[in-house]
């Protein structure tokens, strides 16, 4: 199954991968070399921390490369009048308006109103049109959204 990303999400992952490979990996290797030169490795917390940092960088590089091997970039051409991956949607909750963007699961950032299309709210919104109402079960109870506008 392909990993779906918006164009922006794809570009962000490519940029992160480039930075990891060109800068962060070398910084982690340099830190490890300096820590190794400090002497006794068994009691050297800087060496352990530097090893962990390098392992994290290498792991993230592998993770992003795997995602990008099997990615489908979804372009939202805004010509469809229903919510899809890449849509920005204005909803109304109890008279208050909120703007969400529906994104791929690796791009999700709920604090910045970027909701995964696989999240409960994202799933409920996909395919809906302006004027539709959706009721979503969330941990705090049920929430009713009215779809106001799709961009």
Q: What is the CATH number of the domain that holds 107?
A: 3.10.50.30
* CATH number of the domain encompassing residue 25: 1.10.287.180
Show the CA angle centred on residue 75, arms to residues 8 and 100, nearest 5°: 65
Structure tokens given for 26:
């070398």
3-state secondary structure of 126: coil
43: confidence class by pLDDT, cuts 50, 70, 90 = confident
Number of domain units in the chain: 2
Is there a single domain that holds both residue 113 and residue 55?
Answer: no
pTM: 0.77
Is there a single domain that holds both residue 54 and residue 89?
Answer: no
pLDDT at 147: 95
pLDDT, one tens digit per residue, over 57-83 is: 999 999 999 999 999 998 776 666 889
Which residue spans within 14-107 are E strands per DSSP? 71-74, 88-93, 96-103
pLDDT at 35: 87
Residue 40: which domain range? 3-73
Last residue of a domain, one of 20, 40, 73: 73
Is there a single domain that holds both residue 107 and residue 58?
Answer: no
Which residue spans within the chain are E strands per DSSP? 3-6, 71-74, 88-93, 96-103, 114-116, 133-138, 141-150
Is there a single domain that holds both residue 60 and residue 104?
Answer: no
Neighbours of 56 (CB within 10 A): 13
């Amino acid at each position: 199954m392909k990993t779906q990303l918006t164009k922006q999400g794809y570009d962000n992952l490519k940029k992160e991968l480039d930075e990891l490979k060109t800068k962060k990996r070398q910084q982690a290797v340099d830190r490890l070399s300096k820590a190794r030169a400090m002497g006794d490795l068994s009691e050297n917390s800087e060496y352990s921390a530097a090893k962990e940092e390098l392992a994290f960088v290498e792991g993230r590089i592998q993770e992003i490369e795997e995602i990008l091997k099997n990615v489908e970039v979804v372009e939202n051409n805004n010509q469809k009048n229903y919510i899809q991956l890449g849509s920005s949607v204005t909803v109304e909750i109890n008279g208050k308006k909120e703007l969400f963007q529906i994104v791929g699961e690796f791009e999700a950032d709920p604090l910045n109103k970027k909701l995964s299309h696989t999240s409960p709210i994202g799933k409920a919104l996909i395919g809906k049109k302006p004027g539709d109402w959706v009721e979503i079960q969330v941990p705090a109870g049920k929430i009713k959204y009215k779809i106001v506008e799709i961009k």
